[in-house]
Amino acid sequence: MTALFGTDGIRGRVGHSPVSPEDVLKIGWAAGTALKALGKGKQVVLGKDTRVSGYLFESLLQAGFIAAGVDTALTGPLPTPAIAHLTKTIRASAGVVISASHNPYYDNGIKFFQGDGHKFDDALEQEIEKQFDQPMRTASELGKATRIPDAAGRYIEFCKSTFPQTQSLSGCSLVVDCANGACYDLAPRVFRELGANVRVIANEPDGYNINQDCGTESTAALVEAVIKHKANAGIAFDGDGDRLVMVDEAGNILDGDGILFLLARHRQQTGALAGGVVGTIMSNYGFEKSLGRYGIDLCRTQVGDRHVLEELRSRGWCLGGEPSGHIVCFDKTTTGDGVVAALQVLNAMVSTDKALSLLTGDLDDYPQARANVTLSLDRVSLSSVVSGARVQQMVSEVESSLGADGRVVVRCSGTEPVVRVMVEGSDAALVTRYCRQIAAAVADE
């Protein structure tokens, strides 16, 4: 982990480093200078989600890139995976997204994609940090700014192309929660154009309501709407559209593990599963056991879709993701894509003529308890808290008590000043108690 970059780009509280106006301007210049220094070209695609600070940071990043001599193609509000797709298809040097994903409106961040649509590698991130530490200089030949007028339409057609032409969503009733984010207009259009009957909630962004009581982090309204309207499924995205959580016809929630299990089984049955599934240290043990019953391997990585993607590439596998809802269908996309992943689930439902609940009926789910401990500390200090003697002693005691069927994960968030605690085991009450004890130890430390 570098000084500027976390697990998913650069992120922080608006107005505070590293997302103060001064820093964002210089990040744009540093990124443009780094691209040129490494011979990566001089054109970037720049998109954003719907949070109000996007207007400010769009102008600042654009100015920074232009000062570095890099041309900038603006898209306006678009999902993060749409920027990855456009970067690749228009042969740009890089894609840049202004977003803090599932975070509240008062946070923002910057995500980067290489020209092939994959996340920036370590060399590019390190070069950006190197340039960021240098005085800002204006290039002798300034860049120019243009706008991509049909950006949304291009991405809509791409999404539809991942759904079989022989299939239709006619007769399928959906409720779609757009999190008042980047999918607010685009995602419902995709499902409607494929024939679905779509009801939409949280699709009126005002700059401040992104992820507020909606989306992947808050599914109560979606569950209620699915049951009320007797829909076949509910679909929830996060603010920038790279996460997916679904709700079945009975109101049960499918997180990333449930979606991955469904997709892995369907692909296995159709002969399209290449290798196994890549998950993370947060993936449920019941999910791993359920895959194992069908002879499907699970490889775990550290948290972050970047780690999942790296493992997929190295193994030549096609399916991976996180419980949080990052789902990567590597034979379809180069990054986590909520709309594309939802279409793969809907294809499984339509092609098998089965309700969503039946496709995940034999998925085991171990009780998990999670806690987030927010601390006003920098990343280095957060790490020292996690490795502190009191916390490590408590973790050791809990692991010993849980035995072979239990797990403890204590880690620093890569996107927020938070220590995340997860305890998993066969006894729900015991798991909850242990999670609270470890969280208290973190706070005390």
Q: Which of 53, 93, 99, 101 is catalytic?
A: 101
| 185 and 112 Cβ atoms separated by less than 8 Å | no
Best CA proximity match to 250, nearest among 367, 356, 359? 356
The Cα 145–Cα 223 span in angstroms is: 43
CB atoms within 10 A of CB 367: 17
Per-state percent for the chain, helix, strand, coil, to nearest 5: 40, 20, 40
Report the run of H or E that residue 146 belongs to, with start and end: strand 145-147
- Alpha-carbon gap, residue 190 to 341, rounded angstroms: 13
Residues 6+ apart with CB under 8 A from 183: 79, 237, 241, 338, 339
Do 11 and 111 form a contact (C-beta atoms < 8 A)?
Answer: no
User: Does 140 participate in catalysis according to the annotation?
Assistant: no
Cis peptide before 149 (omega within 30 of 0): no
Sheet strands side by side (includes 368-374) = 368-374, 418-424, 407-412
Sorted by sequence, the CB contacts under 8 Å of residue 228 that are 6+ apart come out as none
Distance CA 331, CA 329 (A): 6
CA distance 88 to 70: 17
User: Which residues neighbour 314 within 8 Å (Cβ) at sequence distance 6 or greater?
Assistant: none
Q: Tell me how far apart the alpha carbons of residues 210 and 182 are, in angstroms, rounded to a whole number.
A: 9
Nearest to 155, CA basis, from 199, 107, 70, 97: 97
Question: What is the rounded CA–CA span in Å between residue 337 and residue 49?
Answer: 14
Helix (H, G, I), strand (E, B) or coil at 92: coil
In terms of Cα–Cα distance, which of 98, 43, 88 is closest to 70? 43
Catalytically annotated residues: 101
